[in-house]
């Protein structure tokens, strides 16, 4: 074909403000031909036969534009597009589901997106609060700083069933698998979006993307140039100061850096610590919290269509943490992450290293008990405080006794290495993704909370593939994914995923099957807290009567889901799903496996006598983790968005959750008494919850008001109880009593209730903005988590100023 018979298309892709969008995709479906924009948002498509084509332009976080363009032989047709941030949930382009850009209606999963605009217009340093506004998500608040989310049941104070990642890095602690949360090294002003996927996503992301996946994506410096300075104030002595700067040096190099310091004071709440029948206040309770974090990234483009990214981030954190064995006083816990990532059109490679470090964190419950034991036996205040970190005094007679190791101090010097390589491509309607991942966890607690005198190294390797076939003309789409994982302790596991989608008019129906696995954390396997009071179950146990308690196995979930996302009218959008989950070998919360009342104590840990493993232990009380048998859970989520106008919309979310427990399966006998009760498998999830919000954004003003109702529900997690009065074993005696002591803690009753949150802001100029956020506007007495105070009204005020960078080589329309 001669040059006179072919032409080209060129242009510039910018956002609405005129800022060029580097990396936007320009694609002609009919020719299976496309490209991405360069440093200045420019692109060129050559050797296109004469004719008229539909050209689609897309970019993550922005609406997708498809327009008809005519090409004339021997000429260049100019086609430039301004993309707006997506106002329609159907136009949203996301990254997380398939690790590459994909229109949200094409994703065979339920997805929530917290957009850059949502974050920008939320004047609080705690972005986690925005999770309360998402469908299908259980949002909990444990204090001023502490927020968390759960997805589709089985929450606990040590919840690692929802995998969290940031820029393709695991955002989890190494030994426990818990989400980093406030320990994250990224700051609010550098977050571009948060994508929340409901249900198993283990095929591409590996073990522990079990009930859901939360992915945080930060801003690219080429698309967010400038300097942002933010100051925030609030009640509870909250203060935050943040700085972010990003700049594209030239068409090869760009960089960004960020810094944040936040501090405040937790609610005036003290958890009771019981020694015998007497309650004591937590020793040396420090309600002040602080977080300091900083990081920097360097971006280098070896070619037009590839990029090499280096990142380093650090955080230092002091606050109160809630666990299933009591509250922790976290002191100067630091996280450091170094990452190197390569991204191109078809190839992705990623490697990073994580360090976790603390020397002074301690368990308040155990330390207080240790302190009381010394004080009550005549020791001085100074000696009692000093020895309370590591020992407890046990009287053996008048004026005599012995100090046993009951360490309350937590040290951590753990490290993790991760690496991944992936290839993806498509041939017409067929898309393929293949990849491999490697992870090496190196846990080191210096013997303070793990059985790790010689360190604990555990490796796992996974290989995966995902195949998609999309028939655009008929609207059908088919997906198959498979992952093969090998773990040092658990051998091999296969994780499949299947999905079918069908586009109908302005929406898409989907049916999916996915399997997820949860590998026990190092703490589950090798934990040793408080002198053997809590022990991991990596070896199994033997009781005095010969009963064998097997070691932990991998937890699995098979999930079936149907759903629809689409447009019911010009102004009404819907996203609805229903799911059914089958869980096997569910990893329990902490359970006492000793039955001292009947003389049935723990004699062996694996093949070793318990006294050889834990000095001084007689096995009379051992909290550990078990596998339950089988449980079925089911539920549905519905999200509605109605646009009264371009500037005013409402959103409504409702979720239902239920379960079925096989009472004839003794593997579901949580307390090992031979009888399976409903209460023995703690769901810790409300049956019903709904929310209603109104959002306004016009001109210089923006605001939102959001009401959330969570049906009252019971919550059991280790020693922590928040439940209504009830007879647990059917003997006519209420073992759980509301507003009374239950076991080792105080039970304030069920969690849940109704709250209203609101936020508003004003853009004084293009550079200066101010905003106000109020959580629990009506100051309703609502308790959302165990071992936590009732939430009180929180007020945050934020002032933000942006210094824009003026570029001499600004994008033009030629």
Could you tell me which of 426, 566, 424, 558 has the C-alpha nearest to residue 502?
A: 566
**Ordered alpha helix ranges (H), 629-777:** none
For residue 16, pLDDT beyond 80? no
Q: What gap in Å lies between CA 234 and CA 238, rounded to an integer?
A: 5
Higher-confidence residue of 330 and 37: namely 330
For residue 539, pLDDT beyond 60? yes
Q: 36 and 305 in contact (C-beta within 8 Å)? A: yes
Please tell me whether residue 666 adopts helix, strand or coil conformation: helix
pLDDT band at 31 (very low <50, low <70, confident <90, very high): confident
Residue 605 CB-half CA count within 13 A: 24
pLDDT value of position 102: 56
For residue 616, pLDDT beyond 80? no
pLDDT value of position 101: 57
Q: What gap in Å lies between CA 135 and CA 110, rounded to an integer?
A: 9
Phi, psi of 322, deg, nearest 5? -95, 130
pLDDT value of position 278: 92
For residue 387, pLDDT beyond 80? yes
For residue 798, pLDDT beyond 90? yes
Could you tell me which of 169, 278, 161 has the C-alpha nearest to residue 213?
A: 161
Q: Which tens digit of pLDDT belongs to each residue from 134-163?
A: 988 999 999 999 888 888 888 888 777 788
Lowest mean pLDDT among 86-95, 407-416, 491-500: 86-95
In the predicted model, what is the mean pLDDT of residues 92-107?
Answer: 56
Higher-confidence residue of 743 and 512: namely 512
pLDDT band at 235 (very low <50, low <70, confident <90, very high): very high
Q: What gap in Å lies between CA 628 and CA 709, rounded to an integer?
A: 31
In whole numbers, what is the pLDDT of the chain averaged over residues? 88
The CATH class of the 102-519+554-590+625-803 domain is mainly beta
In the predicted model, what is the mean pLDDT of residues 609-616?
Answer: 84
Q: Which tens digit of pLDDT belongs to each residue from 44-96?
A: 888 898 889 989 887 766 777 888 899 988 888 999 988 876 555 555 554 55
Q: Which tens digit of pLDDT belongs to each residue from 636-662?
A: 999 999 988 878 999 999 999 998 877
pLDDT band at 105 (very low <50, low <70, confident <90, very high): low
Q: How far is residue 640 CA from its own chain's centroid?
A: 24
Query: DSSP string covering 38-104, please?
Result: -TTSEEEEEEEESEEEEEEEE-TTB--EEEEEEE-TT-EEE--EEEPBP-STTT-EESTTTTS-EEG
pLDDT value of position 808: 45
pLDDT value of position 670: 64
Could you tell me which of 643, 649, 740, 723 has the C-alpha nearest to residue 683?
A: 723
pLDDT value of position 812: 35
Q: Which tens digit of pLDDT belongs to each residue from 708-750?
A: 999 999 998 888 999 999 887 777 888 899 999 988 889 999 9
pLDDT value of position 429: 85
Residue spans per domain, the chain: 3-85, 102-519+554-590+625-803
Number of H helices, E strands in the chain: 6, 55
pLDDT value of position 807: 55
pLDDT value of position 320: 95
pLDDT value of position 814: 34
Residue with tokens 């903005």: 769
pLDDT value of position 299: 96
Cα 548 to Cα 110, 212, 551, distances in angstroms: 42, 33, 9
pLDDT band at 20 (very low <50, low <70, confident <90, very high): confident
Angle at 84 between CA 82 and CA 87, to 5 degrees: 155
Q: 372 and 428 in contact (C-beta within 8 Å)? A: no
Could you tell me which of 346, 368, 374 has the C-alpha nearest to residue 434?
A: 346
Q: What gap in Å lies between CA 322 and CA 726, rounded to an integer?
A: 25
pLDDT value of position 697: 87
Q: Which tens digit of pLDDT belongs to each residue from 168-188?
A: 999 999 998 888 988 999 999
Lowest mean pLDDT among 26-40, 417-431, 483-497, 556-570: 26-40
Query: In this structure, how many other beta carbons lie within 10 angstroms of the beta carbon of residue 247?
Result: 17
pTM of the predicted model as reported, rounded to 2 decimal places = 0.87
pLDDT value of position 58: 79
CATH topology match: 3-85 vs 102-519+554-590+625-803? no
Q: Which tens digit of pLDDT belongs to each residue from 672-711?
A: 667 777 666 778 899 999 999 999 988 899 999 999 999 9
Q: Which tens digit of pLDDT belongs to each residue from 588-598?
A: 778 888 877 77
pLDDT value of position 285: 95
Pick 3-85's CATH classification: 3.30.2350.10, 3.30.70.580, 3.60.21.10, 2.60.40.1120.
2.60.40.1120
pLDDT band at 627 (very low <50, low <70, confident <90, very high): confident
């Amino acid at each position: 074909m001669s040059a006179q018979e072919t032409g080209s298309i060129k242009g510039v892709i910018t956002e609405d403000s005129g800022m060029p969008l580097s990396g936007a995709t320009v694609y002609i479906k009919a020719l299976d031909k496309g490209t991405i924009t360069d440093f200045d948002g420019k692109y060129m498509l050559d050797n296109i036969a004469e004719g008229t084509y539909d050209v689609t332009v897309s970019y993550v976080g922005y609406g997708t534009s498809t327009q008809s363009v005519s090409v004339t032989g021997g000429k260049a047709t100019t086609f430039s597009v301004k993309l707006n941030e997506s106002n329609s949930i159907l136009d949203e382009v996301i990254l997380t589901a398939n690790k590459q850009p994909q229109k949200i209606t094409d994703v065979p999963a339920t997805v929530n997106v917290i957009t850059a605009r949502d974050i920008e217009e939320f004047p609080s340093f705690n972005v986690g609060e925005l999770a309360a506004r998402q469908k299908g998500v259980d949002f909990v608040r444990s204090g001023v700083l502490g927020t968390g989310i759960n997805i589709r049941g089985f929450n606990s104070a040590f919840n690692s069933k929802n995998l969290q990642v940031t820029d393709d890095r695991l955002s989890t602690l190494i030994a426990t698998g818990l989400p980093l949360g406030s320990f994250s090294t990224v700051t609010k002003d550098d977050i571009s979006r948060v994508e929340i996927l409901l249900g198993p996503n283990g095929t591409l992301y590996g073990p522990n993307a079990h009930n859901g996946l939360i992915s945080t994506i930060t801003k690219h410096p080429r698309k967010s140039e400038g300097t942002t300075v933010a100051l925030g104030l609030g009640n509870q002595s909250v203060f935050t100061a943040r700085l972010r700067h990003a700049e594209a040096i030239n068409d090869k190099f760009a960089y960004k850096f960020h810094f944040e310091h936040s501090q405040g004071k937790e609610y005036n709440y003290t958890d009771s610590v019981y020694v015998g029948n007497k309650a004591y206040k937590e020793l040396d309770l420090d309600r002040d919290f602080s977080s300091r974090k900083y990081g920097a990234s360097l971006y280098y483009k070896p070619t037009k269509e590839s990029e090499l990214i280096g990142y380093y981030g650090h955080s230092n954190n002091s606050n109160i943490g809630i666990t299933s064995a009591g509250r922790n006083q976290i002191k100067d816990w630091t996280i450091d992450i170094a990452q190197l990532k390569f991204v191109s059109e078809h190839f992705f490679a990623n490697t990073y290293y994580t360090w976790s470090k603390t020397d002074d964190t301690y368990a308040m419950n155990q330390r207080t008990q240790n302190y009381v034991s010394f004080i009550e036996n005549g020791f001085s205040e100074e000696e009692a405080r000093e020895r309370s970190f590591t020992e407890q005094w046990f009287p053996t007679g008048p004026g005599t006794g012995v100090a046993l190791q009951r360490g309350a101090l937590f040290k951590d010097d753990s490290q993790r290495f991760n690496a991944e390589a992936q290839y993806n491509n498509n041939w017409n309607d067929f898309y393929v993704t293949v990849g491999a991942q490697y992870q090496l966890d190196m846990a080191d607690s210096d013997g303070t909370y793990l059985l790790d005198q010689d360190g604990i190294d555990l490796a796992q390797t996974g290989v995966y593939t995902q195949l998609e076939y999309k028939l655009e003309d008929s609207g059908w789409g088919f997906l198959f994914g498979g992952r093969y994982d090998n773990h040092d302790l658990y051998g091999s596991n296969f994780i499949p995923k299947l999905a079918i989608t069908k586009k109908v008019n302005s929406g898409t129906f989907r049916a999916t099957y996915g399997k997820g696995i949860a590998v026990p954390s190092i703490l589950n396997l090798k934990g040793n807290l408080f002198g053997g009071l809590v022990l991991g179950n990596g070896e199994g146990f033997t009781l005095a009567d010969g009963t064998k308690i097997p070691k932990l196995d991998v937890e699995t979930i098979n999930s079936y889901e149907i759903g629809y996302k689409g447009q019911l009218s010009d102004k009404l959008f819907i996203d609805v799903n229903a799911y059914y989950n089958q869980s096997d070998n569910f990893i329990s919360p902490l359970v006492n496996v000793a039955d001292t009342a009947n003389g049935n104590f723990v004699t062996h840990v694996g093949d070793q006598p318990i006294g050889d493993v834990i000095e001084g232990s007689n096995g009379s009380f051992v909290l550990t983790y078990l596998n339950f048998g089988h449980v079925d859970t089911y539920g549905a989520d519905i999200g509605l968005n109605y646009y009264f106008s371009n500037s005013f919309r409402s959103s409504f979310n409702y979720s239902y959750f239920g379960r079925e427990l096989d009472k004839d399966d003794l593997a579901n006998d949580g307390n090992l008494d031979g009888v399976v009760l409903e209460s023995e498998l703690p769901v810790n999830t409300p049956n019903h919850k709904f929310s209603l919000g109104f959002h306004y954004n016009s001109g210089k003003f923006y605001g939102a008001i959001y009401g959330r109702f969570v049906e009252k529900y019971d919550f059991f997690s280790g020693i922590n109880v928040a439940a209504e009065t009830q007879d647990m074993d059917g003997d006519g005696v209420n073992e759980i009593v509301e507003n009374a002591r239950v076991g080792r803690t105080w039970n304030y009753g069920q969690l849940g209730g109704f709250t209203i949150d609101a936020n508003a802001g004003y853009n004084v100029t293009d550079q200066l903005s101010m905003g106000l956020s109020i959580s629990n506007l009506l100051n309703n007495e609502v308790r959302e988590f165990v071992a936590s105070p009732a939430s009180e009204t929180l007020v945050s005020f934020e002032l933000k100023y942006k210094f824009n960078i003026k570029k001499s080589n600004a994008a033009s329309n030629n």
